[in-house]
Every structure is written in C-alpha cells, then in structure tokens.
Structure 1
Amino acid sequence: MTAGLRIGQVARTVGIPTTTLRAWEQRYGIVTPIRSESSGYRSYTASDVDRLRHMRALVESGVPPNRAAGIVAASRPFAGYASSTVVPGVHDALIRAGHYFDDSALTAILDEAFSAGAPEDVIEHWLLPSLNAVGIAWQKGQLSVAAEHFVAAAVMRRLGSLFDAAPSGRPRVVVGLPPHCHHEIPALAFSVCLRRRGLDVLYAGADIPLESWSRLAAEWAPRIVVTVATMLDDVAQVDATRDALHAAGVPAFYVGGAYAARTSSTIALPLSMTSAAEVIVQAASVNGWV
C-alpha cells in the first residue's frame, strides 16, 4: 500500500467508519495525515493504516480507547515488508544460499541474523523481508521451487528451535492455518513472538480441516485462536473457520496477514508482528485470561 490514501479508502481498509477514524485522529493523535496544499484533503500512508488496524484490534479486544491509543503510540513504527521495501544486497543473502543449496552458508546467515538482536526484531525487520525477496526471486524464475523449499525448510527449523526455547505461561492461545492454506512461516513466526511474551501457545500448523478445528476447540478450550489470511483465496476459508470456532465456543478469534481486513466478523491484527502480539497480550489481560 502506498502513500496518498484518502480517508474513505483508509476507513474501508481498516474496517471502521470515517467518523471513528476522525475521532481517533482528533482525540488521540493516532495518525497525523498530510493535507494537500491545493485541496486540503487528508492523505494517509501504509504506516497510518497499520496503526489504525492496531488501534481497532485493541479496542475490539476490550481495551479502552484511551489506553489503546497509548499502546499504539508506544509501538515502534512498522517498516513493512512489501516488495517495494526489499533492498538488494540486504535481503538477498537467503537467495544466494538457496541458489547453491549451500546448507552451511544458510545456517551461518541465520546464526548471524538471530545473534544481532531480539528474535522479534529479526523476524519482523530482516527475516520476513528476506523471505519476500526469496518469493520474488522464485516468481521471476531466478530461484527454483526446490531451492525455495530448501530455504523455507531451514527457516522453519530455526523458528521451531526458537519456539521450543521460549518458556510458556498463560493463557492458552492456538495458532494455525485454515483449510487449504499452506503459507505457515508467518504463523510459526508469530507463535514464536507470542510464546516469548509468556503465552501458552499451541502451534497447530497448516491446512487444518474444519472438523479438526472444532475438535481442537472442544478438547483444548482455548480462549484465543489466531489464524492467517495471506492470500485472497484464504478469506473464505478463514470465515468458515471462524464459524466453526464460534459454534465451539471460542470467545476470541484473530486474523493476521495482508488480507485479514477482508474477513468477516473477525479481529484483524496489525501487520507488525510485535504490535499484533501486543494486541493478544492486552486482550488476555483485560479479559482476565491470564
């Protein structure tokens, strides 16, 4: 999403009325749009959209608006990981390692990256943009399917190690993908972020049939379930999963990913994983699930 969005476009993308957007802007200073000199129209950026999604998710979780505004204000701005943000030479190390099926180089790259900072920051600001670069290389025919899978498998192993190393607490949160959805790296990465915040995360994996979602909800009784709408085709599957979980008595259902706002009657998480994790933590707190 690029700069220059009008207020109506932003409101539709975030899923709130324009009156609510104006109220949050005026009362809490959540965003500061740029006004054009010629027309005076408000102009918003992709970062503004994500901050508003963050605010909406917190409020829908039960956090009072004034408290939610403070949380959003304290959150670090999200740089995004769209293709326009991929910087050659910065995010292409995984491509080179994948091209040559160089396992030792790939391990060294991941070791160096995750030793440079907190896993949440590395995931959000290096890993996901780098994987986006890998995906672009595959789309352009610069990387084979086997090479792309080779890189993805190494990343999944590393994220699994990070998940296992983080202590779990409360409440129980289930993270998994709806039927026919296979892009599980973002979901596992988010599970790592949640587990490092002290939550008891059950990572259920990809392509979970509706009957399995219903059984999981009945047997585990999670208070919070998180899934992902990475592709447009995922939206219908997410909505069906929501219906199954609602029927099973799950009180809170959250959706992350680029198409989260397209889903119905769900709480769309901000694109920033650290901000999204904060939404889940705050929801658990205000609802007494900790």
Structure 2
Amino acid sequence: MGDAYAVAGLTTGAVARRLGVSPTTLRSWDRRYGLGPVIRSQGHHRRWSPQDVAVVEEMCRLTAAGAPPAEAARVARATSGGSPQATEPKPAGGETWRTAEPGAPARRGGAGGGLPLGGDVRQECRGLSRAAVRLDAPELERRLVDAVRQHGLVVAWEEVMVPTLRAVGRKWESSGDRYVEVEHLLSWHVSTTLRRAALVLEPAAQPATAAGPVVLACTPGELHCLPLEALEAALALAGVPTRMLGAAVPVEALIACVRRTGPAAVVLWAQSRSAASPPLARHVAGLEWGQAGARTRPFVLPAGPGWDRRTAGAFPQCAGLADAVRTLSTLYDEEHAGRRPQHRE
C-alpha cells in the first residue's frame, strides 16, 4: 500500500478484513473506547491511518489473550502511540487484566476470529485463530512457540494446533474459496514450529546403538503430512532416531528405504480411507534383511484416521500422538536391548 495508505488511509471494511473482525466490531470499539480513525474524508467517510490500525491490532492481540475489552483498549492506546482518554470507561467491579501465572492451566474460550472453534478449547486456540485470520505471521510464530514451551510438544499439538487447524479447515469448506490463505499460512507456521521444537525444548540424547530408526512415511497419494511431522518431532524429543520420508511416498522408494536402513518400525500415515493400503502394510511387514537364521522384519504401525479396524486388520493402532510416541519409544528401547518384539499378524 505504501505512501498511498499513509496519506489516504484504509476504509473500515479493509481494516476489518485485515484484522479478521467485523466492521461492526470496529465501530463498537470506536464508540465505546475511542479506538477509531482520526481522519475523515470530505464525504465524512472514515479513513484509518497506519497508527489507527496499529492501535486496533494491539486491541485484537490483547482481547485474544483474555484481556477485558476496556482494559485492552487502555493498554492498546498507551502501547501503540495513542493517548489514553480521561473519559475512557473503566472495567466493571474494578476488574483488571492479569496474565496467567506460569504453569497455571489455560483458560477455556470460545471461537476467535470468526472460526468455528467450539466452546471447549484452550484460550490459546482463540488467540492463534485470530492471528491466523489476520495473517499475522510474527504473532503466529510467537504463539506457537509459547504453546510448545509452556505445554510441551504433545499437548501443544493435540490441544492447541489441531483444534485451530480443524477450525480453519471447516471455515474454508463452508466459505468457498475464502480462507485458503489462512490455512496455508497457519499450516506453514505449525510445520516450522514442529521442526524447531528441539530448539525450544531439550531433547533426550539418542543412544549409540545399532538399533534401526523409525521410518515415517505417508502412503502413496497421501499429501497430508502435518501429523507425521508432529510425530517425528515428538520422537526426536524422546531420543528416538527417525527417517522422515514425508508426503505421497512411492512404494518403490519406501521399500528401498526400509531395506537400506533396517528400521525398528515403519509408520504408514493415511489421512483418508482411500489412501490406506492394507496390501502395502502387509508387504512392508514381510520385508526381511540380515543373515540367514537371524533375519529381521520391521514392526509396522498404520496411523491416521484413514485406517480403521477393517483396513488395519491385526496391525496395532494408536489413539493419538501421545500413544504413538509411547508405543514407538517402547519398540525402540526393546530393539536397543536386543529384544525385538513380535509383530501381530
């Protein structure tokens, strides 16, 4: 927007789209707390300057973090270059905003930024969703890293990242072609945070051992690999070595990797039922290597909602990320100790 934005300002509708709030909300904040544009055009149209927008951006961040609106408005004016007004409304009953104590359980909150989060989600989901709708990349990164640091990777994934990702997906499905950019930006930052988890949390040391790694692969045609990235990050923090092959792995490439690495386990991720392949799981489970008389096979773990009891058959299944980490960590420890578990078939 450049100089034209600085001179002419933005309309209320443009600011609302940028922040992920409704124009009615902006007008309400102007009427109640004085967080409105100073510039008016000749036709008495409201025009928001960069400073005006900075104030309401801060208001969005504070309310998403749980601040009462009146207190958030006061802080937003003070921290974003605005001047507090003597006539500003005060919180009822002397209410003030306090940040959560370290280690305290997160508050539960409703939907944020117009996303269908539902009523029983962590407060962090609300702030994360508002930042995603605003396309506020720095805020997304900060909130995701804070969630991992405060709750650990597994809880951050299952109770913060996944509910927000699902809410964006539902919004996209119900809004035609809208919100595609929101889902892409959020997914990118979730993926980046997962890859950087070892820099935020201290991973367990990987033992020097001849035990094979855990191979992680999406089935052929499966492009949805964020959950597999979460598993890879969680296993790395648990000290379990992995080989991540990512999305839509061709059968030949998967077999070559298994033969070359001699893994303790192979995880086959399928998000959709059409991507789950029982013949592939059975084929991988039957691969052998090693000397005659002491040949070894991998332990195969089908994972993801695409695998149900019928498609998974006798293969084990996990109820979620925490369960998968426990199962694979145990398998790796047994492999490390020379007690390879028997596969159920």
TM-score above 0.5, yes or no: yes
Over the aligned positions, Cα root-mean-square deviation in angstroms equals: 2.7
CA distance in 1, matches of 2:338, 2:160: 32
**C-alpha distance after superposition, 1:30-72 (max 9, x if no partner):** xxxxxxxxxxxxxxxxxxxxxxxxxxxxxxxxxxxxxxxxxxx
Question: Separation in 2 of the partners of 1:125 and 1:95?
Answer: 13
How far off is 1:157 after superposition?
A: 0.9
Question: 1:100: which partner in 2?
Answer: 134
Give the letter for the 1:119 counterpart.
Answer: L
Q: Using a 3 Å threshold, how does the CA distance of structure 1 residues 121 and 174 change in structure 2: closer, same or farther?
A: same
**How many residues are aligned here?**
206
Structure 1 distance, partners of 2:118, 2:137, is 28
Q: Which one of the candidate residues 187, 194, 199 is aligned to 1:152?
A: 187
Give the C-alpha shift of residue 130 in structure 1.
2.1
- What are the within-5 Å matches in structure 2 for residues 49-88 of structure 1? 87=121
| TM-score (normalised: structure 1) | 0.63
Shift of 1:214: 0.9
1:230 aligns with 2:230: no
Report deviation, 1:210: 0.2
TM-score by length of 2: 0.53
Q: What is the one-letter code of the residue matched to 1:186?
A: P
Q: Percent identity?
A: 20
User: 1 CA distance for matches of 2:321 and 2:165?
Assistant: 15
Which amino acid in 2 is paired with 1:258? P
d(CA) in 2 for partners of 1:289, 1:191: 23
| Matches of 2:253 and 2:138, distance apart in 1 | 38
For structure 2, list consecutive stretches of 5 or more residues without a partner in the other structure.
1-116, 289-296, 340-345
- Partners of 1:248 and 1:144 lie apart in 2 by 44
* Larger relative contact order (CA 8 Å, sep ≥ 6): 1
Partner amino acid for 1:145? V
Bigger helix fraction: 1
Structure ID, larger Rg = 2
Aligned to 2:323: 275
- Give 1:248's aligned residue: 287
Q: What is the distance in 1 between the residues matched to 2:270 and 2:198?
A: 22
CA deviation digits over 1:170-225, x for unaligned, max 9? Answer: 64111111111011110010111112221111111111000000111111111211
3-state DSSP of counterpart to 2:273: coil
Is 2:281–2:302's contact at 8 Å kept on the other side of the alignment? no
**Unmatched runs of 5 consecutive residues or more in structure 1:** 1-82
Give the Cα–Cα distance (whole angstroms) in 1 for the partners of residues 312 and 320 of structure 2: 21
Distance in 2, Cα, partners of 1:201 & 1:153: 21
Q: Shift in Å at residue 281 of structure 1?
A: 1.9
